[in-house]
Structure 1
Amino acid sequence: MEQYEPNLLSPAQVAAVRRSTTNGRGALTRRSLLRASSAGALAVGGMGALGACGIPPAKREGEAAASDDDSAKEKRITFSNWTEYMDVSEDGKSRPTLEAFTKRTGIKVKYTEDINDNVEFFGKIKPQLAAGQDTGRDLICVTDWLAARFIRLGWAQKLDPAHLPHAYANLSAQFRSPDWDPGRSYSYPWTGISTVVAYNSKATKGRKIESVGQLLDDPALKGRVGFLSEMRDSVGMALLDLGKDPGKFTDDDYDAAIARMQKAVDKKQIRRFTGNDYTSDLDKGDLAACLAWAGDIIQLQAGNPDIKYVIPEAGYITSSDNLLVPAKARHKANAEKLIDYYYEPPVAAQLAAYINYVCPVDGVREELAKIDESMASNTLILPDKAMAAKSHAFRSLSSEEETAYEEKFAKLIGA
């Protein structure tokens, strides 16, 4: 395998940029945008809406997804991603890893941050995909449940393993075989997203909050508890606390989790269900404890030593944002080269140093330590075996389940 030395920022330069931007970018801004609110999932582009519009699922995964590949003659890619999900230079005017990729390969990347919400983005490109047309994008990054939908509908191209040697070798075991894409035939994770229990130790007067059960039942926390408006995170964590596996639960299990949270809502234990806006309340102590996304907690801890987190003994929910090549994309081979590039440990380390989410790349620890030793030892970025063993993914849902479950969750949170 040919080896390259990426032309990236030095570890010292990365650390300097990270210090100068810790409070204003990365996870906090990234999570300030809705990933998939319950109301939005029901209102725009849901599976039920697909059926009503007469758009049938593909007969088999990937059917008719391929297109003529112009990669060899057109050295370019269009890459759609979320905001604040890519490393930037110290002056904020360039993206070092993307520039290094272009310098190495000659492939120019048109990088656009036009994904603000999974449901909104799906609605934007659905008409073109349903009509069998090129969306104008060669690579997209969407959350796992939406990636599963693209694959079910035959709207993602099957990836060529020959173009993905680093990705195949370095993908962490935790992410290797989700039930919606066994063996990662159509997707590779950009980052992992961990849902944990977080608390403000000043607001709890030094008490450690260790479980979802405490969030739901501890009278000392009444009115100062936050849950997430992302159904899979909140229900998944409640299922785990009930001793149920989020990867195998039944309708009755789901209803039991909803009922338990409803009880906490009725007695005003839960203050509210939030998107990323829990961060300011937790930072100030208006929320004493809450469910939180790990990337946010890393950012908050940089400015507030009172912010703590716990991985509950019952486990925690892991999801992922994933790279896919849409049906009819015209530069598939180029896109695969870019995916593979981000699975080289030096490149993956530089990305992780900026965005602070779980890095899905094995072998990155030593490279990340060159940038920031504390980050390399942070299990919220690089989970150790003990933490990985406690991770659980929310299982894939059928279209009927997705509609029914979102309706019940929307009723719970008042959406």
Structure 2
Amino acid sequence: MKRLISFALAIIAFCALLAVGSSQLQKSQGASSSGTLTLYNWGDYIDPALLTKFQKQTGYKVQVETFDSNEAMFTKIQQGGTNYDLAVPSDYMIQKMHKAHLLVPLNYKRLHGFNHIDPHFRDQSFDPGNRYSVPYFWGTLGIIYNDQMVKASAVQHWRDLWSPKLRNNIMLVDSARDIMGMALITQGHSVNTTNVAQLEQAKLKLEGLMPNVKAVVADEIKMYMAQNEAAVAVTWSGEAAEMMANNSHLHYVVPTEGSNLWFDNLVIPKTAKHYKAIYAFLNFMLKPENAAQNAEYVGYATPNKAAKALLPKAVATDKQFYPSDSVINKLQVYADLGNRMVGIYNDKFLEFKMYHR
């Protein structure tokens, strides 16, 4: 009998431990108390001082969890079992999340300050009417060059990268949509083409660039360019800003013939629980003084027009990161092309990289 009682007590204790473990796991996966908002964000993509300020003003604490790719974020939310209140996907991913029924529409009766968002950055193709998304940051794909190695006039356009003078002196960011898109633009095609023949032409165009390509790299590109390892690189504006902060000889240009315009956006996943905290946070981040503070900390361009007016003049008028309307009007936003087409882009890019080796 004692053995039976001991066994029963052991089972009860084990179940209790499982319950505690389950509770801790839920907390690590985004579950939060009613006084806590859980933000699923890219790493180091919000000023911590703003989170402290928000808590002091509203009483809501913000728990930040991070992801390193749109796809990882999508999978985590799709799998469920999380209580993320807000997430920060990029443009095309919003389309994909909407198709998968993972988003909750915004309630504009509770949202205050959206009028501060520059009209250029509203009503984009990935979310017509901003039904689901509040623009958070934006940027471009462009060319960064070292003025000690190449003249500015020699690298203003995508076609300039094919110059024999840049032999073995270009680094490319390891991104299929971006590098294939660059080649498509040089041939007058859309970065969202689903024409396989055009994609093959773009791959062949890239193979012609091969003598100039020193490396196709990921995050290391920031270190390499800061250390003068190449004259030129193709990368994103935010990465370029970080490189320039570490090397005064680096400069960034967005080709006037067109490029990619990307957005990161605040959205409400279907897993959200704390709507009072959600709208308090969205309204807080839309305030111009807070958006400006965040832009200065992160270093990316703010879509908040009133916030931009509060930035230092040297920042707000910097055409490298706030290009003219004429340039912006030629930029293209990536669309969600579906798994099949994305696979074709990836395959063509892989063929190019294999050719490079």
* 1:116 aligned residue: 68
Contact 1:352 1:381 in 2 (8 A): no
Contact 2:135 2:266 in 1 (8 A): yes
Match of 1:102 among 55, 61, 69: 55
* 1:140 aligned residue: 87
* 1:81 aligned residue: 41
* 1:409 aligned residue: 349
Contact 1:359 1:381 in 2 (8 A): no
- Give CA-to-partner distance per residue, 1:54-113, whole Å, 9 cap, x none: xxxxxxxxxxxxxxxxx9x933311111111111xxxxxxx221222222222221123x
Contact 1:358 1:380 in 2 (8 A): no
Q: CA deviation at 1:380?
A: 4.1
CA RMSD of aligned residues (A): 2.4
Distance in 2, matches of 1:290 and 1:249, equals 27
Q: CA deviation at 1:349?
A: 0.4
Contact 1:179 1:396 in 2 (8 A): no
After superposition, residues 214-233 of structure 1 pair within 5 angstroms as 214-215=160-161, 217-233=162-178
Sequence identity percentage: 23
Q: CA deviation at 1:300?
A: 2.7
Aligned length: 325
The code of the aligned residue for 1:378 comes to: D
Could you say if the C-alpha distance between residues 75 and 172 of structure 1 is closer, same or farther in structure 2, counting changes exceeding 3 Å? Answer: same
* 1:396 aligned residue: 336
Bigger proportion of residues as helix: 2
* 1:171 aligned residue: 117
Distance in 2, matches of 1:164 and 1:182, equals 17
189-198 or 253-262, larger mean C-alpha shift: 253-262
The code of the aligned residue for 2:116 comes to: N
SS at structure 2 position matched to 1:351: helix
The code of the aligned residue for 1:408 comes to: K
Distance in 1, matches of 2:69 and 2:180, equals 20
* 2:257 aligned residue: 314
SS at structure 1 position matched to 2:109: helix
In the alignment, is residue 324 of structure 1 matched against residue 267 of structure 2? yes
The code of the aligned residue for 1:147 comes to: I
Contact 1:194 1:319 in 2 (8 A): yes
Contact 2:257 2:330 in 1 (8 A): yes
Could you say if the C-alpha distance between residues 406 and 340 of structure 1 is closer, same or farther in structure 2, counting changes exceeding 3 Å? Answer: farther
* 1:275 aligned residue: 218
The code of the aligned residue for 1:99 comes to: T
The code of the aligned residue for 1:137 comes to: Y
Q: CA deviation at 1:308?
A: 1.7
In the alignment, is residue 246 of structure 1 matched against residue 198 of structure 2? no
TM (normalized to structure 1)? 0.72
Contact 2:77 2:102 in 1 (8 A): no
Q: CA deviation at 1:222?
A: 1.1
SS at structure 2 position matched to 1:324: strand
Distance in 2, matches of 1:226 and 1:303, equals 17
Q: CA deviation at 1:122?
A: 3.0
- Give CA-to-partner distance per residue, 1:310-339, whole Å, 9 cap, x none: 221212211112222111311134223312
Q: Which runs of 5+ in 1 are unaligned?
A: 1-70, 88-94, 129-133
Q: CA deviation at 1:252?
A: 2.9
Q: Which runs of 5+ in 2 are unaligned?
A: 1-31
* 2:24 aligned residue: none
Contact 1:200 1:283 in 2 (8 A): no
393-402 or 359-368, larger mean C-alpha shift: 393-402
Match of 1:157 among 104, 107, 130: 104
Contact 1:163 1:333 in 2 (8 A): no
Distance in 1, matches of 2:155 and 2:50, equals 39
Specify the structure having the higher radius of gyration (Cα). 2
200-209 or 178-187, larger mean C-alpha shift: 200-209
The code of the aligned residue for 1:348 comes to: A
In the alignment, is residue 203 of structure 1 matched against residue 171 of structure 2? no
SS at structure 2 position matched to 1:85: coil
TM (normalized to structure 2)? 0.83
- Give CA-to-partner distance per residue, 1:130-176, whole Å, 9 cap, x none: xxxx5121111122222221111001111111122212x12222321
After superposition, residues 14-93 of structure 1 pair within 5 angstroms as 74-87=34-47
SS at structure 2 position matched to 1:321: strand
* 2:140 aligned residue: 194
